[in-house]
Amino acid sequence: MNDLSRTIEALLFLSPQPVSTIDLAEATESTEGQVTEAIESLREDLAAGRRGIILREVAGGFALASDPASEESARRLLAKPRTPPLTQAQAETLAIVAYLQPVSRPEVARIRGVSSESAVQTLAERGLIEESGRSRFGAAIFKTTELFERLFGLGALDQLPDPSRFDPTPEDERELRERLLKAGEQRAEP
């Protein structure tokens, strides 16, 4: 398989829709003839039976599909319930835990300005955060999990985006600063 065939395979893998020869030629800065040859090379390589995917020509373009021999296994895998996306409250809570961990639920609520029990519970159920001890007042303290790092593509927590690069509106900045200062003061109190 040549470089163009590998590139086309990657593009087809990334695309949720079939991709036409014209679009592939444009994306790879190649001619339609070169793309047609690369597609045939890719088709031959995939048809050799060494891979779990095949090349299909559908809807005026090309798409990668799973090998029909894996249909039963694919059905079992895809029958599992999908996890819905995070809500705003869950995303805010997860960000607070990620940047301030270990952090207690009351601290999260103080920073957010609203109760965070439901968000914390859902994040724990999804395996994104976990209890890592108790505060001196008996509140559960939370930290992120390895699953969090895997899902967000982090090798370690020091790879979290730099919050100083966040560019909030002046009003948001004042509100965030006040919340964070209050939370910091309360954490520092003996």
Q: Among 39, 54, 78, identify where a domain stops.
A: 78
Q: Determine the distance from the C-alpha atom of residue 160 to the mean position of all C-alpha atoms in its chain, rounded to a whole number.
A: 13
State both tokens at 174: 């004042």
Co-location of 92 and 180 in the same domain:
yes
Residues 96 and 50 in one domain: no
| Same-domain check for residues 98 and 149 | yes
Domain assignment of residue 83, yes or no: no
Sign of CA dihedral 56, 61, 62, 67: negative
Q: How much is the pLDDT for 141?
A: 94
Token match 């600063």: residue?
A: 177
pLDDT at 57: 83
- 66 and 98 both lie in a single domain: no
Domain boundary at 28, 58, 78, which?
Answer: 78
The chain-wide mean pLDDT, for the chain, equals: 85
CATH number at residue 159: 1.10.10.10
Its domain, for residue 15, covers: 3-78
At 35-86, the pLDDT tens digits run: 999 999 988 888 877 778 888 888 788 888 888 888 888 888 877 666 678 8
What pLDDT score does 188 carry? 60
Of 53 and 1, the one with more pLDDT: 53
Task: State how far the Cα of 106 lies from the Cα of 80, in Å rounded to an integer.
Answer: 34
Residue 148 lies in a domain: yes
| Mean pLDDT, residues 134-158 taken together | 88
Q: Where are the alpha helices (DSSP H) in 29-101?
A: 32-47, 71-78, 88-100
- End of a domain among 60, 78, 96? 78
Q: Is the pLDDT of residue 1 over 70?
A: no
Is residue 110 located within the same domain as residue 69? Answer: no
pLDDT in tens, 104-120: 999 999 888 888 899 99
Q: If you average pLDDT over each of 31-45, 77-91, 143-157, 160-174, which comes out highest?
A: 31-45
Reported residue count of the chain is: 190
- The C-alpha angle with vertex 14 and arms to 9 and 19, in degrees rounded to 5, equals 70
E strand residue ranges, 73-183: 103-104, 129-134, 140-144
Higher pLDDT, 26 or 52: 26
Give me the number of domains the chain comprises.
2
